[in-house]
Structure 1
């Protein structure tokens, strides 16, 4: 029986003897961090008496022990309760009112002495009203065929500091238990068995110093014919409190004479049954359960028969042997984790229509495993080599492991992650949007395609960038390159001249090099315009310098055969629909 998928990747067979010796050689970790209270905070006041206590989780600490008291380090409220790896404790009967409560957290270790942290405290609020009524939890109200040996328990009434208990065989009777102040407890164990085949009436009245709960109902249940309940049992293997328990043990317990079966619950904290939840066994042992290393487990075994379950059975614990970590090396005061670190990416791209893309592990390890995951979440092993051929998009698992030799065997310490494979394709450059900025031109490359792309200007070798925008581009011919990062190819597009959205160049360079030697309107940049009739060019004083036919090569930057200086020049363009466009451009030599 597996404990839970993913709980224990490491299959630990033994611990290297040299590590074990080092860990037990030293009894404490210098400078160990202690957890701060998260709620209530240290020093907080007016805390509700119903509050849960939570604290920070500290890396490398496998478990916590909590004590509560009215003095620093005191245990008069709660005496050293091991809560496993949980960082929360809720007092079952609440906290005392108007009291400074001191919380002491002890760090529990398998490989060294426990470390008791400095106490932190908070102050509870005063109570200003009487508590509400409670209700029966065992047996439940109106229950039938209740065993005559039953214990009686009820729910916590918030704000209660005690309970008045009465029990009889009539609605107001008290011949079984006269009204008794039981104090702040949530159960009562009758001194003798209850009368068989009888109606039992129970009154439970919560109270505090303000007063008692009012108008509380009387509860009733009916007993069965008298039968003998089984007694409780205890663990044989592993024994209660045992450490360094193998990860795949068979749990065994003492046989109970009149039990027909045993209900077994196992959890990682005293308050959970996340490993086994009340599973019934009809023998005195479990099937093999794979446990996590370096952890405390809490087990409760309750014998049962036709009369009911054993009453008052206690919880027992055991701790598994050290595995892949994390745990502290007391020699170096460092946290040891034997699982290899993973640097593999979250997403891998493959090219569409390829027969298969070879992907290699990015990490050094003793072994590798690759799994594909289908739409139902099922895993299929597809490679145990460093490389794997991936042919289609989907989710995959990458697992690496190291083998650590020990005196009695070996430890396989693994790490894994889920990654996504996505299909890529070469980009299609739809457009290059050109806009004017203060220091030149800005190119924005618009692409389509199923891929992850990066961009370069004028050089297919790069440098490439993630942004599709380039700023400060000088006038002239330029080529943009778009590369798929998964190696599916490079697309390119050449821009002959940088134009405004209206088709009028903002720059030209009449230097005789054959590029941008003439300034002229380019109708192909805005094909929806009506026909342009003529263009007039002026200097900054408004003097007419030239009149251009839109069908000519354009203006060459001369007046009466003489080259004009670098400067800004103005134009006025007239279209056949009498629309006029005015603007300016720069002549550069």
Structure 2
């Protein structure tokens, strides 16, 4: 589970106004999520000594600074190594055995203080055997014309805690360096130059507390005549650690007097060379076009001459802040971007009986673009304003963008989405099915064509609903409305209720004399569509007394086994063509 940490702000944070407002009078703010260790896991044990340490990437964080130590927050193994945007790191010389290793990850930002996360830890395994032999990386095996002032570099042996080095002029000899303990390091520069034009033999034996490697082979190379190597250079612009660098900067470094040229390597992590890979320059500056925004870049300048390359040149860094984000806003504790927020719908309707439909962008932005996408996926620009005229259904792209200026250049931050245009039309009502529900009715509205419609009852202005059914509505005249959601029109239909009382007796006399003892509908000579299907009888207060079929013998004036008093009574009837008939009659005894 991710943890939230806090950034103390003892003084005002001044940040670029284009990103966040000035933070005034604030002492603490909720900070960015800190990453969890992925490998080795926090709290794990028996981690390999050559473990690669990796952690969760956090969106919006430009880079990470890593410290490794044997105490919480410690850095005695690795001291604040900037690893750029990489979310993993392999310690060059491995890790100590049977030790709790504390990992402290610092989130690196350009426009605010860095966030130091709480330490996480794991415990390494215990050594069980002597280390394996290593291999020499430089000078390469059987190399010739090696400068006499060269350094010697080798690969790490995973479980080694130190190395013994011998340098001689004979196989397995130690005439120059004899079995020297160089510690847990992977390079060594002899204190004096090696002899000229001589074959040099190098033996490196890794060691740990169990013992030393056995059977390690000897490497060799041949030196050239003595020559003076150039010294290392350093960056003038950008200077080491500088931020807010333009995306296309001029890189400039210090000239070295006896250098013929310079080898330049640039990468987005300390171990990469994905921008420039050992590129050769014969001057002390160069322009790099279109650096990626919001990244840390690692640069190494190595001067060279006929004698060879400068030895031990260190890596430097610089960072860019241009671009659209996301940026972490310490005032709100949230990520923010310069791209406009898009609220445009996924689907837009156009009316089939209209030549074209104008669509407007409601999102706030500096500019807009609209594209038509054909069946092959090709995009055609059809408008560069906040309005576009659509004439046909299909797939489209809506784009809104913001502009910002930095170092005299205009940059664009765009947001876009694909939306679908569908054809729609004014609805047509085919029928309204009316069904009996006791003393109420249910309506089902049937349209000629299916469409993206909504429905209302008795009020043209709403409330509209998605369902075409209305349940338990009163037994009286109603108007149903059907509206196209795309704005292509509204259709209405009146469900009429005939208030005539033809066929219904004006009175009856339930006195048991066998004459007019039942009140019932008497069919007239009309079409079957106007025949009655259900009849309801109410008292003068509107209480339902009975519901009956026109096929029954009728009502005898009895309710719950008792005769109702003489009075006027009301009826409602539903005809076969869904008309309501209502009226009243008298009960006489």
Q: Same fold (TM over 0.5)?
A: yes
Contact 1:350 1:390 in 2 (8 A): no
**What does 1:255-294 align with in structure 2 at a 5 Å threshold?**
255-294=255-294
Matched, 1:123 2:123: yes
Residue 548 (structure 1) aligns with: none
For 1:225 and 1:294, the matched residues in 2 are separated by 47
Contact 2:32 2:333 in 1 (8 A): no
Residue 539 (structure 2) aligns with: none
User: What is the Cα deviation at residue 37 of structure 1?
Assistant: 3.1
The secondary structure found in structure 1 opposite 2:195 is coil
Contact 1:292 1:320 in 2 (8 A): yes
**What does 1:146-185 align with in structure 2 at a 5 Å threshold?**
146-185=146-185
Contact 1:28 1:113 in 2 (8 A): no
User: What is the Cα deviation at residue 100 of structure 1?
Assistant: 0.9
User: What is the Cα deviation at residue 233 of structure 1?
Assistant: 0.8
For 1:89 and 1:204, the matched residues in 2 are separated by 25
For 1:325 and 1:402, the matched residues in 2 are separated by 13
Distance 1:346 1:82, change over 3 A: farther
Q: What whole-Å deviation, never above 9, does each CA across 1:548-572 have from its counterpart, x for those lacking one?
A: xxxxxxxxxxxxxxxxxxxxxxxxx
Distance 1:379 1:422, change over 3 A: closer
Distance 1:175 1:486, change over 3 A: farther
User: What is the Cα deviation at residue 181 of structure 1?
Assistant: 1.6
Residue 111 (structure 2) aligns with: 111
Distance 1:200 1:410, change over 3 A: closer
Contact 2:324 2:339 in 1 (8 A): no
Residue 141 (structure 1) aligns with: 141
Contact 2:366 2:400 in 1 (8 A): no
**What does 1:29-68 align with in structure 2 at a 5 Å threshold?**
30-33=29-32, 35-39=34-38, 40-68=40-68
Q: What whole-Å deviation, never above 9, does each CA across 1:438-476 have from its counterpart, x for those lacking one?
A: xxxxxxxxxxxxxxx97999xxxxx999xxxx9xxxxxx
Distance 1:348 1:162, change over 3 A: farther
Distance 1:487 1:297, change over 3 A: farther
The secondary structure found in structure 2 opposite 1:96 is coil
For 2:155 and 2:362, the matched residues in 1 are separated by 56
**What does 1:2-21 align with in structure 2 at a 5 Å threshold?**
none
Distance 1:244 1:117, change over 3 A: same
User: What is the Cα deviation at residue 231 of structure 1?
Assistant: 1.7
TM-score normalised by the chain length of structure 1: 0.62
User: What is the Cα deviation at residue 329 of structure 1?
Assistant: 4.7
Q: Which segment drifts farther, 360-369 or 300-309?
A: 360-369
Q: What whole-Å deviation, never above 9, does each CA across 1:487-530 have from its counterpart, x for those lacking one?
A: 99xxxxxxxxxxxxxxxxxxxxxxx9679xxxxxxxxxxxxxxx
Contact 1:338 1:413 in 2 (8 A): no
Residue 339 (structure 1) aligns with: 338
For 1:239 and 1:33, the matched residues in 2 are separated by 28
Distance 1:253 1:346, change over 3 A: farther
Distance 1:317 1:395, change over 3 A: farther
Distance 1:395 1:151, change over 3 A: farther
For 2:209 and 2:152, the matched residues in 1 are separated by 25
Distance 1:413 1:215, change over 3 A: same
Distance 1:21 1:189, change over 3 A: farther
User: What is the Cα deviation at residue 122 of structure 1?
Assistant: 1.2
User: What is the Cα deviation at residue 347 of structure 1?
Assistant: 7.7
Residue 400 (structure 1) aligns with: 401
Matched, 1:386 2:386: yes
Distance 1:172 1:383, change over 3 A: farther
Q: Which segment drifts farther, 175-184 or 384-393?
A: 384-393
For 2:151 and 2:239, the matched residues in 1 are separated by 27
User: What is the Cα deviation at residue 372 of structure 1?
Assistant: 8.5
For 1:94 and 1:327, the matched residues in 2 are separated by 35
User: What is the Cα deviation at residue 213 of structure 1?
Assistant: 2.1
Residue 536 (structure 2) aligns with: none
The secondary structure found in structure 2 opposite 1:101 is strand
For 2:160 and 2:390, the matched residues in 1 are separated by 64
For 1:355 and 1:265, the matched residues in 2 are separated by 60
The secondary structure found in structure 2 opposite 1:66 is strand
Contact 2:368 2:400 in 1 (8 A): yes
Q: What are the ranges of 5 or more consecutive residues in structure 2 without an aligned counterpart?
A: 1-13, 425-450, 456-463, 470-481, 489-522, 531-589
For 1:236 and 1:374, the matched residues in 2 are separated by 52
Residue 478 (structure 2) aligns with: none
Residue 78 (structure 2) aligns with: 78
User: What is the Cα deviation at residue 229 of structure 1?
Assistant: 2.5
Q: Which segment drifts farther, 151-160 or 394-403?
A: 394-403
Q: What whole-Å deviation, never above 9, does each CA across 1:302-341 have from its counterpart, x for those lacking one?
A: 12233332221111122345765444555x3443624134
Residue 414 (structure 2) aligns with: 416
For 1:296 and 1:223, the matched residues in 2 are separated by 39
Q: What whole-Å deviation, never above 9, does each CA across 1:52-95 have from its counterpart, x for those lacking one?
A: 22233344443322211111222211112122333222111111
Q: What are the ranges of 5 or more consecutive residues in structure 1 without an aligned counterpart?
A: 1-13, 427-452, 458-462, 471-480, 489-511, 516-589
Distance 1:141 1:308, change over 3 A: same
For 2:240 and 2:249, the matched residues in 1 are separated by 14
User: What is the Cα deviation at residue 96 of structure 1?
Assistant: 0.6
Residue 187 (structure 1) aligns with: 187
| Higher alpha-carbon Rg | 2
Distance 1:397 1:125, change over 3 A: farther
The secondary structure found in structure 2 opposite 1:83 is strand
The secondary structure found in structure 2 opposite 1:81 is strand
User: What is the Cα deviation at residue 358 of structure 1?
Assistant: 7.1
User: What is the Cα deviation at residue 125 of structure 1?
Assistant: 0.9
User: What is the Cα deviation at residue 199 of structure 1?
Assistant: 2.1
Residue 318 (structure 1) aligns with: 318
Distance 1:380 1:18, change over 3 A: closer
Q: What whole-Å deviation, never above 9, does each CA across 1:226-270 have from its counterpart, x for those lacking one?
A: 333322111112222233434443111111223232222223332
The secondary structure found in structure 2 opposite 1:165 is strand
Q: Which segment drifts farther, 38-47 or 27-36?
A: 27-36
Q: Which segment drifts farther, 357-366 or 139-148?
A: 357-366
Distance 1:33 1:147, change over 3 A: same
**What does 1:466-505 align with in structure 2 at a 5 Å threshold?**
none
For 1:27 and 1:196, the matched residues in 2 are separated by 66
